Each structure stands twice: as structure tokens, then as C-alpha cells.
Structure 1
């Protein structure tokens, strides 16, 4: 028998730690990315195009991993993704040419949304599922999401570090470059945790395709894509850009705001689970989402910074409550054999849809229509919520049929 690893090196703990490190890096990069690109002399439109390129590249890479996953060990794929994160951080710190930055954003792991839309997520999900029983799976994924959200909030707070560094004589541009180097170091540390995951032979049999639930999954995928397209208008990097340009918010103040925003989002996950037990999964998704969208639209029209930040914090407390409930609902309304295929069919279209709208938002910013991305996002999300309620309020998961 081999030597058992200590409890703190259990594969689940290693995956949680790697997720926390990655989301910490994503948290500060999402805030710093627009500041960095503007400091290099690029326009808001070009910032939006960079965001679109990064999300589109992530979506296509996720599709590729979906095909490669059964042929390769999860550990190998995660180590390759961590290596890509290291290269991305170093490249962003060294490259100034816009065309090259566009290529790095497309091919790398830069995440302007500070959410889990990266290539790491489906691989980690598959690896984590092997570590727990069916009865413990939902609780494990809730903790996994909470760890990531808390780390992302701390990362947003770390976006103020360049302001601290400038007090010792370095200029802000150099300080932000050092943060991209830190992003690469975070990828290295994450890779060390991935290296502790035991090797497993790849799965030889094909993943079960969609069967009796095909129509439901396709309808959900279409609705989720509408929601993701709407959300792309206000990814975190573009929200930071709006705060910088509309209210001249400082980098330090923005980092504090995004920290508290992230904390509110993180602790909304367990609230969503509690609420769904009382009013149902679909109702939780819809009736928390609509108020958050209204708050976003009102923030776009806010007369001053205080009102805008208050409305955005209300949005943060509500807007992510559909994340665990959405995942749970998809898994509940399909057969067990279809779950892997359903997860893929509902997540990849979301990523592709979300990659289109940041460039459109950047164009609106450049044309001085700075409130319109918020208004479009809110209107589309409310449309999504009403369609979801109309089409799925009668399709209940097993636990709501008793």
C-alpha cells in the first residue's frame, strides 16, 4: 500500500485551493484590466474588444476540452491550463502592442468577468465529482462556489495594491505590470496544487448523449444564452471602466467596492439554497433576478456616486442567487444518464453568447452612450426571467413534486 497523503493534500482540498488562487487572480485582474489598457492609450471600444476576445477564446477552449476530456487525465489538462495562466500573466506584463494583446487575451486565461467562465471550471467539476458521493455532491459544489467567490472578493481588494506601490516611487503602469506578474505566480501556485491530484486513466466509453430531455435542455440553453449575452454588457472590467469614467472613482475605492460586492454575492449562495427550498428553484431564479436587474438599470441613471454604488451593491446581493439554483435545476430535470451532456449543452452556449456583448458595450462607451449597456443588460435579463418563468414554472424538479 502507498503512503496516504495528509488530509490537507486530499484532492478535493487541492482543487478548492487552486480554485481560490485562480479566482483571487481573476478578482484583481478584472478591475485592473481596463485601467491598464487605458494607461497604454487604448480606447473604451478597444477595451471591450479585448474583453470579448478573452471570453470567446475561453468558450472555444472549453469546447476543445469537452472533446479532449475523455481522452486525457484531468490532472494533465489542469496542469496545462495552469501553464497557460502563467504565460498569460507574463505576456500581459511585457506586451504593449494591441494586436498581440488581443491574441494573448484570446488564447490565454484573462477573465474580465471575475466569474467562473474559464477552461478550468468544467475540468475541476469532473475531477471533484469523482471525490464525493451523490448525496454530498450538491453541498460540495456549494462550498466550491463559495470559496471561489470569497477569493474573488479578496482579489478585487488587492487591485488597490498598485496605488500602494506608487507611494514608494514606481509609476502606476509599472505597478500594474507587477500585478500581472503576480497573476502568473498565482497560476504557478495553482499548478502545484493540481500536481497533487492523483493520476486517473482517461474514460474510454463515450459520454451519454441527450435523450428524452433534449427539448428541455435546448430550451434552457437558449434562455441561458440570452441571460449570458445580457450579462456580457456589464462584465466586471466594463463596470469598473464605467465607474472610472462616469464618477472618476479611484482605483483604491473601486477595489473596496468590488470587495464588498463580491462578499455580498458569495454569501447569497447559501441564502439562495434556503430560499429555493421554500419557493422552488425557478421562482428563486426569477424573483431574485428581476429586482437585481431593476437595480442595475437605476444605477445607470443615478445622479451621484453614492446612489450608484448603493444600487450596485443591491444588485450584487441578488444577481448571483440564480447560479447554484440554475445548476441544480438543470441536473434535476434531466435523467441521470444525460447530466454530463446537459451540463455541456447549457454552459458552452452561455460562454459563446457572453463573448459577443462586451465589444458592443465598449462601442457604446466610446460613443458616449455610457448608460445604455446597463439599460440593455437589465431589459434583456428581465425578458429572460419572464420567459423562464412562463416556460418552466410547471416543470418541477423531483423534490418539488412531493
Structure 2
């Protein structure tokens, strides 16, 4: 009987993980085309790079606020209910963007909504899904589970990047440019609806035991130190938020929308397959070492891309960067989940994510201005330099704090 119960529990956990993978896939696909469509939509409305940077800042600030609120209330509320709220917000975002044209209203929708202008995965669902995955997976399988989670999200984001060329197809069929962009946002809302149907199947659960009151307890100091370092990394990343990188390629090399979609498809695909490689490396050299020693070369490639003499060299360097730059995503998530206690996980996920989002919200507006200067590649140089400094600081500060599977 005990064996049957164990098998049933294992099957239930596997089903729950698969469900969250499916929701991550849908969100990744939607983000994949939305972050390319949004700057193109704003350009079609007549807005410049500065306006795109301001909307990117508003979006990241809103993401930070929602992620923080979610992480702090999650330990005391039903995780399924909060996931459904996140799906509802995704639906509302897709319905709102096609119906606003004033910059203030676009920025407001960006602030409240779920479209993330960076290539990372932040938002209301992230700390919730991380908490559920961490409590479901064993310590030995945790990094692998998060690597697959990131792999699925990135592959679907890559497919979404290809879908960003659909407006060209719609226009060839007779749709207006703005009408084609609006149709894509309605598609984004439909993906949110499917996510809601998936989240309805998540079991009722809370992140901590009844009667517990502190979102962060014994791991507070470690979490705050990680959050401070992650914020430096995110501030740097904000200079090349994907919507701004799209705009840089548009302006610097006159890249077409279809070509941009194809490039970001391959970029996301390379990032996706780097996740299981990161898990494999982490088992051999550790999580922190994996984060640092894959991240530094990617930053060097980014700096070189800013100095590239032509489009093909720039795209080649950016693809090399994509193959390395996201290896820290599953390893970073796994590390945070490992060095805190289970009740602290939702708060730890949000507290480490929110400063990242807040910090990255500052730099896009600055980058938007820098894109109008005589050297529009300056945001890429600043990003790469700051990221290298972050990597060295992370290695120095946390190389001795090891997760359970690395101890002994």
C-alpha cells in the first residue's frame, strides 16, 4: 500500500510540474512576440525611441510592484487563486493595448499589465510558479526542473519571435499595419485565457504552514545580499531590454520586422538550449561558478557587438552572447530556492526579483536617450561593463555559500 501511495504521489507531482511547464510555454510564446510587436506598434503610432524607453521603464516598474506584492502575500493566500489573478491580468493586458494610442495610456497599460520588455521572465506568476516547483521537486532534481522550466519558456519565446512576423502576413491579406498589430495583442489575451484554464487545475495550496507569519526569516540577510547584487545585473540588463535591442537593430542596420523576428527566434533558441547545459555544468562546478563563468564571456560579446562594422558581425556576436548569457537563469533560481527555507521561497523569489525589476526599470529610459546620440551602441557597452562587475562581486561574495547538494 505504501508503494502504491508513493507512486500516486510521484505521478501527481509530475502532472503538476507538467501543468506549470505548459503555462510557462504559453506565457513565453506570448512574451516572444509581444516584446517585438510593442515597439513596432509604438513606432507605427509615431512615437520615438525616447517614448519606447519610457514605456519600457513603466512596464518594468509595474512588474516590480506586482512581483513584490505577490511574493509577500503568497505565503498567506491560496497559490492557485493568485495564479488565476495573474492569468486574468494577462488577458486584460492583451485587450487594453489595442485600444489605447496616447502615450500616457500606453505607459499605464504597460505599468499595470504583464508585457515585460526585457528578455527575462518576471511578473506576477513567476514567484508563484517557482514556489510550487521548488516544493514539488527534490533537492537533487531542483536545478534540472528549473532548467527545463527555463528551456520550455525560452523555446516558446523563440517561437513567439517568429510569430512577430505575422503582421506582415496579415497586411498582405489586406489588414492595416495598426490593425495587424492589434490582432496580435488580442492573440496575447487569448493565451492568457488558456493559462487561466490550466491554473484552475493547480491544487489549492499555501507556501507556508498555517500560523507562520514571517515572509522572510532566518535567510533574510542572504536574500537581501543576493537582491542587491541581482539589482546591479538587472540595471545593466535594462540598457539592452529586448524591446530596445530591437529598436537599436531597426535604427542602426534598418532591420525589417520579419528579419528581427527570425533573429530573435534563433537567439531565444540558443538561450533555451543553454539551460540544460547550465544544469549539467552546475552539477560539476557548482551553481555560483556556473553563473559567473558563463556570464562574463557573454558580456564581452555584447560590448563587441556595439562596435560591429556591419549587421552580420553584430548579429553573430549577439547570437554568441545569447548562447551564454542566460545560463545563469535556472542556476540563479535554483540557488535562491536552495539557500532559503521552504516557507520563505515565495518571498525570496519576489525579493530577489523585484530589485532586479526596479533597477532594470531605470536604465531603459536612459538607454532610449543614448540611442539618439552619435554612438547608439553605448547602451550595449555600459550593459556589458556593469555585468562583468556584477559577476566578479557575486563570485567573491557567495562562492562559499553552497546549496545542500553541493555540501560535503
Give the TM-score normalised by the residue count of structure 2.
0.91
> What is the match of residue 285 of structure 1?
291
Q: CA RMSD in A?
A: 2.4
Distance in 2 of aligned mates of 1:74 and 1:338: 14
1:2-401 equivalence runs, <5 A:
10-200=15-205, 204-206=210-212, 208=214, 210=216, 213-334=219-340, 339-401=345-407
Q: Is the 8 A contact 1:285 1:322 kept in 2?
A: yes
Question: What do the CA deviations read for 1:256-311 (whole angstroms, capped 9, x no partner)?
Answer: 11001001001101111222233332222112111100100110110000000000
State the SS of the aligned residue for 2:239: helix
Question: What do the CA deviations read for 1:92-129 (whole angstroms, capped 9, x no partner)?
Answer: 11111111111111011111114211111111222334
Structure 2 unaligned spans of 5+: 1-7
Compared CA separation, residues 208 and 141, structure 1 to 2 (3 A): farther
Compared CA separation, residues 199 and 333, structure 1 to 2 (3 A): closer
How far is 1:80 from its partner?
Answer: 1.6
Compared CA separation, residues 210 and 119, structure 1 to 2 (3 A): closer
Question: What do the CA deviations read for 1:34-62 (whole angstroms, capped 9, x no partner)?
Answer: 11111101110110110110111011011
Question: What do the CA deviations read for 1:362-389 (whole angstroms, capped 9, x no partner)?
Answer: 1212345411110110010011112222
State the SS of the aligned residue for 1:205: coil
Distance in 2 of aligned mates of 1:85 and 1:336: 28
> What is the match of residue 3 of structure 2?
none
Q: Which moved more, 1:56-65 or 1:340-349?
A: 340-349
Compared CA separation, residues 274 and 347, structure 1 to 2 (3 A): same
Compared CA separation, residues 245 and 129, structure 1 to 2 (3 A): same
Q: Is the 8 A contact 2:50 2:369 kept in 1?
A: yes
Compared CA separation, residues 134 and 387, structure 1 to 2 (3 A): closer
Distance in 1 of aligned mates of 2:358 and 2:201: 32
Compared CA separation, residues 175 and 335, structure 1 to 2 (3 A): closer
Residue correspondences, number: 398
Compared CA separation, residues 343 and 168, structure 1 to 2 (3 A): closer
Q: Which moved more, 1:292-301 or 1:69-78?
A: 69-78
State the SS of the aligned residue for 1:366: coil
How far is 1:234 from its partner?
Answer: 0.5
Question: What do the CA deviations read for 1:151-173 (whole angstroms, capped 9, x no partner)?
Answer: 11100111011111111122222
Give the TM-score normalised by the residue count of structure 1.
0.92
Q: Which moved more, 1:292-301 or 1:130-139?
A: 130-139
How far is 1:339 from its partner?
Answer: 4.7
State the SS of the aligned residue for 1:234: coil
State the SS of the aligned residue for 2:276: helix
How far is 1:205 from its partner?
Answer: 2.7
Q: Which moved more, 1:283-292 or 1:42-51?
A: 283-292
How far is 1:392 from its partner?
Answer: 2.7
Compared CA separation, residues 291 and 190, structure 1 to 2 (3 A): same
